A = this chain, B = another copy of it.
Amino acid sequence: VAQTSNPRRERYRRETREEAKEIALAQLAEAGIHGISLNAIAKALGMSGPALYRYFDGRDALLTELISDAYRDLSGAVRAGFEAAGTDTGNGETFRAVAHALHGWARRHPDRYLLIYGTPVPGYHAPPETTQIAASLMRTVLEACAALGPSSTGSRDALTAHLEGSRPWGGEPDADASVKGLALRAWARLHGVISLEVQGQFAGMGFDPDVLFESEVQAIVRDS
């Protein structure tokens, strides 16, 4: 993929790449990951297939970029929720803000959420960059859980004991094992609702997923 130092050309390049990715996301929404096709994107952009190779190294590179973008975007949205939360008055405001940021992002971008947390494509290897984004997202979750205060019921349970001495998750310095346990359980719990909701598994059951999500968030805060 080529480079330019000309500012006008550079800007045009950026815009075209952006537009291509948007079309790719539309294809993702409409036909799944397999529906993302370089040739079809090029046609939608009004250019011929091979022209896209000026902008992306190939299909895999584009896919990788979509995943990284989504992950970074999600992590950023959650972080923003964390930082926008007011001071914690003991009611778990920070955690609630983080949970709702996560949920809100997933609802706004269901396909991109599944790009990150959906069925993995066998044989596809996430770029090393991904690990770092995952860590920074985990860091935010850990901090939000730490803000829930020292846990009451679960502080010395088997999970905490098991996590004692495990490797750091969100970079240094590492969090307490009890906080890690709390974060892990909270993450899985939130993901459980979000995943089922985003995949449409609640269809036809006649209830509002928001109520379920809110109920889970409250339970997590209460149980901490």
Contacts and interface: CB of A to CB of B under 8 A. Distances in A.
A188 B206 contact: no
23 contacts: A29-B122, A31-B122, A32-B122, A34-B34, A35-B122, A114-B119, A118-B119, A119-B199, A154-B215, A157-B215, A158-B215, A166-B205, A166-B206, A167-B205, A169-B205, A181-B215, A184-B212, A185-B212, A188-B189, A188-B196, A188-B212, A189-B216, A191-B195
Interface in A175-192: 181, 184-185, 187-192
B122 A211 contact: no
Contacts of A200: 120
Interface of A: 29-35, 114, 117-123, 131, 153-154, 157-159, 162-163, 166-167, 169, 181, 184-185, 187-193, 195-196, 199-201, 204-208, 211-212, 214-216, 218-219, 222-223
Which label, helix, strand, loop or mixed, suits the secondary structure of the A interface? helix
A166 B188 CA distance: 27
A92 to B, nearest CB: 16
A215 to B, nearest CB: 4
Contact of A188 (B32, B118, B167, B192): B192
A120 B199 contact: yes
A201 B122 contact: no
A94 to B, nearest CB: 21
A216 to B, nearest CB: 6
Contacts of A163: 207
